[in-house]
Homo-oligomer: A and B are copies of this chain.
């Protein structure tokens, strides 16, 4: 059995984050030691690794909640899982597209800058212009 500190280390998730996940119901309440400290088994580590991996892929905690629920129902068709992942991919694609536009505009702004005074700064000037990019 692992204490929360050991689990934290093993899963590379900070201690308060683990408690937070428990609080919002992403992790089940673990056993407690005689002294009221949390004790985790291998299952908890798997689950935490799952959450962390999904988080690094940008899934929202709500989506992860759905994925975890589904992963506990092995006989269900995985269409819903697929759908969640596909939605995430769409969101990632959209963010990439947007960031590429930002990148281009920032590069243009910076390239135009003559390194003079603020009065003639193209960066400030460009920012003052009405915007060409849609907000997020």
Cα A73 to Cα B120 in complex, Å, equals 11
Contact A128 B92 (CB under 8 A): no
Chain B positions within 8 Å of A46 at CB level: 128
Complex CA distance for A92 and B105, rounded to whole angstroms: 11
A2 part of interface (Cβ distance < 8 Å): no
Residues 30-69 of A contacting B (Cβ, < 8 Å) = 46, 49-50, 52-58, 67
Scan residues 94-136 of chain A and give those whose CB is less than 8 A from a CB of chain B. 95-96, 99-100, 102-103, 105-107, 109-110, 113, 115-121, 123-124, 126-131, 133-136
Whether a CB of chain B sits under 8 angstroms from the CB of A25 is: no
Q: How many residues of A contact B (CB 8 A)?
A: 59
The 10 A-B residue pairs with the shortest CB-CB distance in the complex, in nearest-first order: A74-B119, A78-B121, A53-B131, A89-B106, A56-B135, A78-B118, A71-B124, A96-B99, A85-B123, A76-B118
